[in-house]
Amino acid sequence: MSTVLKAFSKEELIEKFKAIYAKGWIENKRGKNDGAVGNTLEYLLEIPENNLPIPNAAEWELKAQRSTTSSLLTMFHTEPSPTAMSIVPNILLPKYGWPHTEAGKKYPEGEKSFRATLNASSFTDRGLKVNVNDDERKVEIIFDNSNTDERHADWTKSVNERAGHLGNFDIVPYWGFDDLFHKAGTKLKNCFYVRADVKREGKGKKRKEYFLCNYVLKLSNFDQAKFIQAIRDGKIYIDFDARTGHNHGTKFRIRYSDIPSLYKNAEVVIDERGKDK
């Protein structure tokens, strides 16, 4: 593919999406991962990965998925405050972590894990939950042992020993609203959101996957109030992925189908769902 780009307007890009839909089913030659639809579109549009060659391209992104996927989209990575305390490796892991499934095997005997996906709609089975603190303009992680499942009794006992109590965190992990607005606004200010139906043909090594890019939205004007409401409604997840030897980072994630709820404007470019070509 040529790396020489022709800049085109958003209107021209929309026409390109329509032309791709008009082609019908397109073979996936970009792998089995969640990014295959986006990578296929980038190939057909002749653009580098996630680099839309339109005016103010840095303010626009391409988000694409299979219509059948249940995977969460990682919006951005950001560690909780107070950042100087390195909350995850210094507090959450040593005081609230649990034995890693590979402890004594792949990792040392005492390896602990703090791997959890949280939202604001319900507590996890270890009593963890996201809380929107409007008074202090913070998104917090809270711990309530009364919501811990009985099967974690040994873990609860160890938390009491390590933390010294079973109340909420002494230092509550949080993200300030303004910091989150900056992160999310930078990553998701405007985007084209594409969903593709999927079909597979053949067997074994000859089995092939095909995409039909039949749903395209033009999303603009990321809305801060809608973003906080999405967190409050449990549509946005905070994903911790740490073990004693390594913190893989804390992520804010969302289901692809909920992305439009974060924007003031959602313009339908193509909606031919349910119409096989």
| Per-residue model confidence as pLDDT tens for the chain (277 residues) | 334 445 667 888 899 999 999 999 999 988 888 789 989 998 898 876 655 655 545 567 788 889 988 888 888 899 999 999 999 999 999 999 999 999 999 999 999 999 999 999 999 999 999 999 999 999 999 999 999 999 999 999 999 999 999 999 999 999 999 999 999 887 787 888 999 999 999 988 889 999 999 999 999 999 999 999 999 999 999 999 999 989 999 999 999 889 889 999 999 999 998 777 6
Where do we find the tokens 């074994």? 204
**pLDDT computed for residue 48 by the predictor:** 66
Residue 78: per-residue pLDDT: 96
Residue 210 corresponds to which tokens in the numbers above? 């095909």
d(CA 167, CA 146): 9
Q: Which residues contact 113 (CB under 8 A, 6 or more apart)?
A: 97, 98, 99, 100, 101, 242, 243, 244
CB-based contact 128:146 (threshold 8 Å)? no
| Structure confidence at residue 129 (pLDDT) | 98
Instruction: Report how far apart the first and last C-alpha atoms of the chain are (Å, whole number).
Output: 27
Q: What sign has the CA pseudo-torsion 122, 123, 124, 125?
A: negative
For the segment 219-242, what is each residue's pLDDT rounded down to a tens digit?
A: 999 999 999 999 999 999 999 999
143's enclosing H/E stretch is strand 138-148
Tokens standing for residue 69: 């996927």
The CA distance from 71 to 211, in Å, is: 17
Whether the pTM exceeds 0.85: the reply is no
Residue 31 CB partners (closer than 8 Å, separation 6+): 39
pLDDT number for residue 3: 41
Task: Please report the pLDDT score of residue 191 as a whole number.
Answer: 86
- Name the residue among 94, 270, 100 with its Cα closest to residue 194: 270
Q: Say what the pLDDT of residue 277 is.
A: 63
Measured distance CA(277)–CA(20) in Å, rounded:
12
Q: How many CA atoms lie less than 13 Å away from 95 in the CB half-sphere?
A: 16
Sign of the torsion angle spanned by Cα atoms 40, 45, 49, 51 = negative
What's the token pair of residue 29?
């030659």
